Structure 1
Amino acid sequence: MKLYKQRYLCKECLKTWSARTDIVEEGHTLSHQLKRSVLHMAREGITATGIARICHCSPSSVIRIIDEAV
């Protein structure tokens, strides 16, 4: 799952911030569940391109998720 969060703007100081959620890490859009699924499929021997097609994300995102877990 890819999450798009609401962005807010302070009209006085023009500072922006995003809504907070436990579904994704701060500053990220790929859910914890998606990352777990990617790692599970990688352990099963599915290629990064295959995982990307199944999960509807880019192969570079798949590789980054795997690299972060190692």
Structure 2
Amino acid sequence: MSAHDGGKPRPTCPKQFALDVGSADELTGILRGIIREQVEERHGRTVALKGHAAEGVAAARPYAEAGLGLQV
């Protein structure tokens, strides 16, 4: 419960909560957190594979694929 919901239990769906209270702030915060986690995970994987990229085509392929995963 928050000041925005009048003390009522929140819907379990953040999208529905945003529609009910007329503000996308909470939903935006949730989505930003998810995106941040995904970017950090994908960036870490790409950096870890970068050192192997010079070892030939077979070793460079996972690095190239990981780099594509960072595209938005």
* TM-score (normalizing by structure 1): 0.36
Which gives a bigger RCO, structure 1 or 2 (Cα 8 Å, sep 6+)?
1
Larger Rg: 2
More helix by share: 2
